Amino acid sequence: MSLRRAVLGLLRAGRGRLLPLLILLAACAALHFGSTNPLGSLQLAQFDRYQRWLPRERSDEPVIVVAIDSPSLVQYGQWPWPRDLVAQLLDRIGAGKPLAIGLDIVFAEADRLSPEMLAKRLSTEDADLISRLPDPDAALAAAIARHPVTLAVIGLGRELPGSRLPAKPLPALNVSVDQAPLLPHFASALASLPRLQRDAGSEGFINATPHLDEAYGERGIVRQLPTVALIADQPALSLPLAMVRQALGDLPATLSNTRRGMHQLAMGDYRLPVAANGEVFLHFGKANGHYYVSAADVLAGVYPPSTFANRFVVVGFDSTGLRDRIITPLGDSLPGLDVHVQVLESLLASHALRRPNWLPWLEQGALLLSGLLLIAGVPRLRPRHALLAFTAHALLLAGSGYLAFAAGFWLFDGTTPVLLLLPVFIALLGNRLIAADRQRRLAEQRLQASREAAARISGELDAARTIQMGLLPDLARLSAADARFEMAAILEPARAVGGDYYDAFLLDANRLCLAIGDVSGKGVPASLFMAISKTLTGTLARRHDALADAMCDLEIELSRHNPADLFVTAFIAVIDLPTGEMHYVCAGHDAPLRYRAHTVDRVATAEIGGPPLCALGDYPYLAGQMQLLPGELLCLFTDGVSEADNGHELFGVPRLVAALQTAGESPLPALADALRDTVRGFENGAPPADDLTLLLFRWQGPAV
């Protein structure tokens, strides 16, 4: 029996490890083909995090960028400039004896002011005059010949009209036949005029290979740049490397090869680590504009020639509409010129990020070994201990990437293997947690059911609140339609719905009815009774000429079907708009405040006031009368204002009076907000105990 149990245990253990093993093999395959799936983007994003964590230090500035910027275009006109002006710019720079001048500009066509181009536009009668004009292209060619200038070349995928091959490619490149296909290939190129090529010291291509990244939309992140390319089977260096080669006296550029591709570019004493396809993985430094100077300032002589002495100078565009923008792994949006600067600094420091072709195999080996350790160890550990062990292992694996970057700027990705190991760990741990998982799912189902029920109730309450707020009148529209009065109101239920209400409507062309009420209780019952009270108030006020009779009928109708024994406090007033005469009744409600010229008193309700509606059932309410003065303000409110509580005391009417005296001359919407904010400030963050309602009315006087 013991042998049988042991065999069954091994079989069960094998079944428990089979699925994690299959997941591990799939993860290894996914990592191996990472460049063709989303893992490639995750890996590049991790490499970007390394650079943001530890950007390259830029201790000196061996490069100066002479930017044809917006001030330059304002000073010397739109591009293209006359070639003799560009020649002046080169002479200004060349006077300082720079190591090399890189022109990030292609002069593929003759100057539009050259005799050749003018002859095509003018009549043959002017041929003699045209022939005596100076040739701007000749002036530029002469300036290029006087100084160590490197011209830009743009590689083209196919031959186009006007395309032109570089005149000064690399004399030789030691790349094997097997490795040559790894280099970028261009069928043709766009180069400068032959006379300019002839007088230039060297030429270099300016094509880049940005990696598309969804986080930046259609723009690409420039991480790698080709160092060498084949243009019509002729080897060529990139522009910044061609500048260094020219400064070194046209020393040969050598690519060190292995069976799996290139790994280093050498020129003289300078070394630059490259990928298998000859691209350099740049280690970007933080962006700054210290080395940028305006071409207009250079032409104006602002910078002495010594500024450019023993430095590399890159001339190009930094103006809106002319410049190209790049995104770096540091997240900076920079002019394309800055890439040349980064490459030059990297070569001069013999520094670049390193990702040789054996490093991906090391990552796959780390993934496979870690997965096998998990498959062997997790089933033997308690779930808590297994989780701690996986967490420690994941931190060690992910941290090794940062450690490798800090130690030698190796691009080792330890984070992607951790992500791929996670399903393996989950599958292993799941075999130990089947029963617990079943219970968890049952609990989640109950929790989900309760959440859905709560969501339904919340949705119904939201709908009820929307309906309740929709019953309130549009006071702004009423005020805009009649210049004799102005109104504003605020109603904020203590819960989703409440029992307060206010109303304002015209009984006829000259009489306006105002009403405010407060139903006992809170929540849904109070809101339903509020809707009934508001509807009946409007109906009976329109039906009766005498306001007291309308109030008596209102109490009768509300008391007829009131099983919850709710009651309503209310204040209703009818204002004669031409005269300002106001008739009003009060059913247990706070007397409104009257404001005029910073003076506040209360509407007299002592003699005519009665109990709340539905308290007695048939109380004979009386109506009062008062005269409003032009500009006088009425402030109607519920006990949510006067009985607001901060935990120590109530807000009270005196504070409302003080607030009204302070802001009473404000426009009514602003005044309503100010009064509400005063109450909420008094509550000091405490939840409101009751619904808050304010109704403001100002009689402007009879219409002119």
Residue 2 has pLDDT above 70, yes or no: no
Rounded average pLDDT over 14-18: 67
- Tokens for 423? 């399903």
Whether residues 84 and 40 fall in one domain: no
Whether residues 173 and 39 fall in one domain: no
Q: Cα separation of 423 and 90, whole Å?
A: 61
The least confident of 93-102, 169-178, 305-314, 643-652 is: 169-178
Q: Cα separation of 492 and 392, whole Å?
A: 53
Q: What pLDDT is stored for residue 198 in this prediction?
A: 92
Rounded average pLDDT over 575-599: 90
Whether residues 171 and 146 fall in one domain: yes
Residue 5 has pLDDT above 60, yes or no: no
Residue 561 has pLDDT above 80, yes or no: no
- Residue 402 C-alpha from the chain's centroid: 27
- Considering the domain boundaries, does residue 463 fall inside one? no
Domain end call among 348, 380, 411? 348
* Residue among 209, 205, 278, 210 nearest 243 (CA): 205
Domain end call among 296, 319, 348? 348
Give the pairing type, strands 261-267 and 270-273: antiparallel
The least confident of 179-193, 209-223, 618-632 is: 209-223
pLDDT by residue (tens digit) across 225-281? Answer: 898 999 988 899 999 999 999 999 888 888 877 777 778 888 888 998 888 888 899
**Is this model's pTM higher than 0.85 or not?**
no
Of 21-25, 39-43, 460-464, 573-577, where does the model show the most confidence?
A: 573-577
* Residue among 661, 692, 669 nearest 679 (CA): 692
Whether residues 487 and 402 fall in one domain: no
Residue 612 has pLDDT above 80, yes or no: yes
Q: Cα separation of 600 and 471, whole Å?
A: 31
**Under 8 Å between Cβ of 590 and 584:** no
Q: Cα separation of 638 and 526, whole Å?
A: 14
CB atoms under 10 Å from CB of 164, counted, come to 17
- Considering the domain boundaries, does residue 57 fall inside one? no
Whether residues 111 and 20 fall in one domain: no
Residue 464 has pLDDT above 70, yes or no: no
Residue 313 has pLDDT above 90, yes or no: yes
> Which residue segment(s) compose the domain that 156 sits in?
63-348
> Which residues partner with 212 through β-bridges?
220
Burial of 57 (0-12, 13-18, 19+ CB in 10 A): exposed
Whether residues 546 and 580 fall in one domain: yes
Whether residues 85 and 133 fall in one domain: yes
- Considering the domain boundaries, does residue 393 fall inside one? yes
Rounded average pLDDT over 647-662: 89
Whether residues 179 and 232 fall in one domain: yes
Identify the band that residue 207 occupies on the pLDDT scale cut at 50, 70 and 90: confident
- Considering the domain boundaries, does residue 447 fall inside one? no
- Considering the domain boundaries, does residue 442 fall inside one? no
Domain end call among 348, 382, 401? 348
* Residue among 272, 150, 162 nearest 204 (CA): 150
Orientation angle between helical segments 415-432 and 2-32, nearest 10 degrees: 160
Question: Which of helix, strand or coil describes residue 98?
Answer: coil
The least confident of 280-284, 462-466, 550-554 is: 462-466
Distant-in-sequence, close-in-space partners of 217: CB < 8 Å, separation ≥ 6: none
- Considering the domain boundaries, does residue 521 fall inside one? yes
Identify the band that residue 517 occupies on the pLDDT scale cut at 50, 70 and 90: confident
Q: Cα separation of 567 and 217, whole Å?
A: 62
Whether residues 280 and 332 fall in one domain: yes
Residue 209 has pLDDT above 80, yes or no: no
- Tokens for 208? 């880049």
Whether residues 546 and 612 fall in one domain: yes
- Considering the domain boundaries, does residue 469 fall inside one? no
Q: What pLDDT is stored for residue 406 in this prediction?
A: 92
Which is it for the CA torsion 170, 171, 172, 177, positive or negative?
A: positive
The least confident of 218-227, 608-617, 659-668 is: 218-227
- Considering the domain boundaries, does residue 374 fall inside one? yes
Residue in the structure block whose two tokens are 């395959």: 29
**Under 8 Å between Cβ of 262 and 174:** no
| Cα pseudo-dihedral 651, 654, 658, 661, rounded to 10 | 130
Question: Which of helix, strand or coil describes residue 166?
Answer: coil
Residue 127 has pLDDT above 60, yes or no: no
Residue 192 has pLDDT above 70, yes or no: yes
- Between 124 and 648, the higher pLDDT residue: 648
Whether residues 69 and 47 fall in one domain: no
Whether residues 311 and 411 fall in one domain: no
Residue 123 has pLDDT above 80, yes or no: no
The total domain count for the chain is 3
CATH number at residue 577: 3.60.40.10
* DSSP class of 34: G
Q: What pLDDT is stored for residue 217 in this prediction?
A: 39
